[in-house]
Amino acid sequence: MNDNPLLDLSGLPPFHLVTPAHVEPAIRELVRRADDGLTALEKHAPPTWDTVERLMDLHEPLGNAWGLVNHLMGVRNSPELRTAHQAVQPDVVMCFMRASQSEPLFKALQGLRGSPEWATLDGAQQRAVDKRILDARLSGMALPAAQRDRFNAIEQELSDLETQFANHVLDATKAWALTLTRPDEIDGLPQSLLALAAGAARSAGDPAATPERGPWRITLDAPSVSPFLRHARRRDLRERVYRAYVTRASDGPLDNGPLIDRLLALRLEKAKLLDFNTYAELSLATKMAPGVDAVWKLLEDLREKSMDAARKDLDELVALNGGQALALWDVDFLSERLRESRFNYTEEELRPYFPLPRALEGLFALAGRLFGVTVSRADGEAPTWHPDVMFFRVTARDGAPVAAFYLDPYSRPADKRGGAWADECVARRRRRGGAGARMPVSYLCCNQTPPVDGKPSLMTFREVETLFHEFGHGLQHMLTRVDVSDVSGIRGIEWDAVELPSQFMENWCYHRETLLGLSRHVDTGAPLPDALFEKIKAARTFRSGSMMLRQLYFGMVDFELHHRHVPGSAPVLDVQRRVAARTTVIPPLPEDRFLNGFTHIFAGGYAAGYYGYKWAEVLSADAFGAFEEAGLGDAAAVTAVGARFRDTVLALGGSVHPSDVFRRFRGRDPEPTALLRHAGLAA
């Protein structure tokens, strides 16, 4: 047991040593230690800050190890890891639940808030205590014994169902592929996709596959399915791929339909046990939005402002199609043709200008200008979970260490979940009596096109935006100045505000100096032509009404399911269709089951919270507006506003309510004007 790497995570994780066989014994031992420690703490829990510190000490080893295991579930998934994870997950849930439901600790926290010591605590400490008290209440602490037992059973089952849901989506995505062998089947496909598809064929057992001769394997992983739907001229093949994508995890043993029904029923039951009318009301108890009505108002206002634009977008595509009605598998293809004709460039023309190494250089240079940090590659200084993973260190201008992060950039459909995300590896904390704060470390994970045929990853412009987005999350975790781990970095931030820095960073992809600085042609080294930048900037609002409406569709379906829908009263498909009637200009297919793959709300923490992307986009666009008002061409002004952004949005983490954080940065409450202007939807 002593040589189990999960039992000592005091430094950077030893990924090279961790195997699935380590998970079960280590987690069980850490749960035992935490339980024993809690028992001892409950016997003497005075209403002091020291009790809070001891409680953080108690659960930190288990939290770090379980966080590492969950990270590996996302980036190095395997049957053995799943089995080990499933075996100990109930114990972990109950361990943390027991602490949240501890009456002696709850009394200590409440007593601290009413004690003379309270006035001596700083804002971060007070906010940490307040959040623990709220968490205890929302964890069923005040429930009678029988109801608490039921609450705990619900939490156990929800945790298990969410893991099953994510695994089903991963397995269903991995299980489907379309192998192409003839030239007419690949007509229109860009060279980058042909190279990726040939590589997928080689990985699937055809070592002779080449981009020129095939065979070519198209999968449902984003770097494959997305460009295929945009470029494949064979309409029948687009239809096959589209239908497969929107029906993932909807039949056989991987069918997520029954899991959705059960998840919704359990969430509603949980909410009612806690005296909320709906799960959405429970969700908003820990959000920035003041209530359900405020969320509906935002979504409906944006829907009204984008619907006419989306209908015009559709009319343009119908005209391009000779007046013929469109099928859903035509939309991306014709949109790409329209964009190419209108702005006179193709996505493939851009790829050579965005090799990943150069994009990283430009991104890190921007971070230096705005926030006064230096990012340096440090491969070899930390073990990683895959050879493609990169490691970086972040330092201040004087060379003092600030943070570190891992970047896992490429798609690996065999064992890595889709999408892009950021998470914490190590949280900043200053221990009692410690001389200095522990350095924060972040995970940044993307699923972009991997290197092919000896060339670096050549990124689409959207992949560049995604990289900036995840780096924004990382910055908030890494540049925090809060020493209380409960509310440092991305911890403790209301979920609908956590996308502010990530979406804020995307705006810089349309800033001339930034974009030209991160682009260099992979073969010639030539910068992105200025005329091409102007086209990219002009294309920013292309089909923005449709893109806005798509996100509102997702957000409204989520909120309908968690607020107005009564589980068992009607099929969730009816809810989806009802929302689609108000938020889509082409209705979904009758067999569409996109909900079965909607991991954000059924496995990813966004239940009754997907609206948060739009809520935070209002914040992020308004925040970028401060730079626009100062003058993007004024280097000194940009630096000054960047320092203010760092000292508020990035530095304060969860130690201050996000409404107050925004007011400290912007000097007022957020307004949607900048978002509508950036999207080309302003009146």
Greatest Cα-to-Cα distance within the chain, rounded to the nearest angstrom: 79
Name the residues annotated as catalytic.
Answer: 470
pLDDT at 437 (0 to 100): 87
Query: What CATH number is given to the structural domain containing 45?
Result: 1.20.1050.40
* Residue 265 CB neighbour total at 10 angstroms: 14
- Hey, is 662 helix, strand or coil? helix
* Span 424-444, pLDDT tens digits: 999 999 877 666 889 999 999
Question: Are 557 and 535 members of one domain?
Answer: no
DSSP string, 77-121: --HHHHHHHHHHHHHHHHHHHHHHT-HHHHHHHHHHHTSGGGGGS
Q: How many Cβ atoms sit within 10 Å of the Cβ of residue 293?
A: 9
Range 170-192 average pLDDT:
96
- CATH number for the domain including 297? 1.10.1370.10
Token pair of 664, please?
């400290």
C-alpha to C-alpha distance for 545 and 308, rounded to whole angstroms? 8
Shared-domain flag, residues 240 and 269:
no
Query: What average pLDDT is seen over the chain?
Result: 95
Mean pLDDT of all residues in 376-380: 95
556 and 537 in a single domain? The answer is no
Q: In Å, how far are 10, 200, 392, 427, 547 from 395, measured between CA atoms?
A: 21, 39, 10, 17, 38
The total of other beta-carbon atoms located within 10 Å of residue 401's CB is 10
Q: Note the Cα 599 to chain centre separation in Å.
A: 11
Question: Has residue 2 got a pLDDT over 80?
Answer: no
- Asked if 238 and 259 sit in the same domain, the reply is no
What band does 682 get if pLDDT is binned at 50, 70 and 90? confident
Regarding whether 45 and 107 lie in a shared domain, the answer is yes
CA torsion 296→299→300→301, rounded to 10°?
120
Q: Are 623 and 459 a contacting pair, CB within 8 Å?
A: no
The secondary structure of the chain in percent helix, strand, coil, rounded to multiples of 5, reads 60, 10, 30
Domain-located, residue 621: no
pLDDT confidence of residue 418: 84
Rounded average pLDDT over 372-388: 96
456 falls within a domain: yes
Q: Using 50, 70 and 90 to split pLDDT, how confident is the model at 1?
A: low
pLDDT for position 436: 81
The answer to the question of residue 600 being in a domain is yes
Distance linking the first and last C-alpha atoms of the chain: 66
Phi, psi for 403 (deg, rounded to 5)? -165, 180
Percent of the chain past pLDDT 70, that is, above it, reads 99
At residue 452 the predicted structure's pLDDT band, cuts being 50, 70 and 90, is: confident
CATH number at residue 373: 1.10.1370.40
**Which residue type occupies 357?**
P
Same domain, residue pair 334 and 236: no
Tokens (6 digits) for 122: 């700083």
Statement to judge: residues 244 and 105 lie in one domain: no
pLDDT of residue 461: 94
- In the chain, count H helices and then E strands: 26, 7
Rounded distance between C-alpha atoms, residue 269 and residue 276, angstroms = 10
Co-location of 548 and 537 in the same domain: no
Taking only the tens place, the pLDDT of each residue in 339-349 is: 999 998 888 88
Other C-beta atoms within 10 Å of 113: how many?
A: 15
Nearest-angstrom CA–CA distance, 441 and 666:
28
User: 């096109």: which residue's tokens?
Assistant: 449
What pLDDT score was predicted for residue 154?
97
* DSSP 8-state class, residue 288: S
Q: Which of 189, 198, 271, 270 is nearest to 234 (CA)?
A: 189
3-class DSSP state of 480: coil
Encode pLDDT of 244-302 as tens digits.
Answer: 999 999 999 999 999 999 999 999 999 999 999 999 999 999 999 999 999 999 999 99
* pLDDT of 112 strictly over 80: yes
How large is the average pLDDT for residues 468-473?
A: 98
The pLDDT, as a whole number, for residue 453 is: 79
- Domain closes at, from 207, 223, 248: 248
* Residues 392 and 355 grouped into a single domain: yes
Residue from 33, 632, 221 nearest 41 by CA: 33
**Other beta carbons less than 10 A from residue 432's beta carbon:** 10
Q: Please, what is the Cα angle at 549 between 543 and 555, to 5 degrees? A: 145
203, 229, 248 - which closes a domain: 248
- Please, what sign has the CA dihedral across residues 659, 662, 663, 669? negative
> Does residue 585 lie within any of the structural domains?
yes
Answer for the pair 666, 657: CB distance below 8 angstroms, yes or no. Answer: no
Taking residues 363-370, report their average pLDDT.
97
Say if residue 311 is in the same domain as residue 375: no
The domain boundary residue, chosen from 572, 595, 610: 610
Please report the pLDDT score of residue 496 as a whole number: 92
648-660, pLDDT tens digit by residue? Answer: 999 999 999 999 9
Residue 160 in any domain: the answer is no
Do 24 and 137 have their domain in common?
Answer: yes
Assigned domain for 503 exists: no
C-alpha distance from residue 314 to each of 322, 323, 518, 548, 578 (Å): 13, 11, 34, 14, 20
Does residue 666 lie in a domain region? no
Q: What is the pLDDT of residue 433?
A: 67
The parent domain of residue 60 ranges over: 5-142
Per-residue exposure over 140-177, b if at least 16 CB sit within 10 Å of its own CB, e if not = bbebeeeebebbbebbbebeebbbbbbbbbbebbeebb
pLDDT at 413: 84
Average pLDDT over residues 504-525: 94
Query: Does the predicted TM-score (pTM) go above 0.85?
Result: yes
Cα angle 166-171-177, degrees, rounded to a multiple of 5:
135
Looking at the fold, whether 265 and 326 belong to one and the same domain comes out as yes
Q: What domain count does the chain have?
A: 4
According to the model, what pLDDT value does residue 345 have? 87
* Residues 140/102, Cβ–Cβ less than 8 Å: no
Task: Give which of 615, 386, 376 is closest to 494, Cα–Cα.
Answer: 615
In a domain? residue 622 = no
Q: How many residues in total does the chain contain?
A: 683
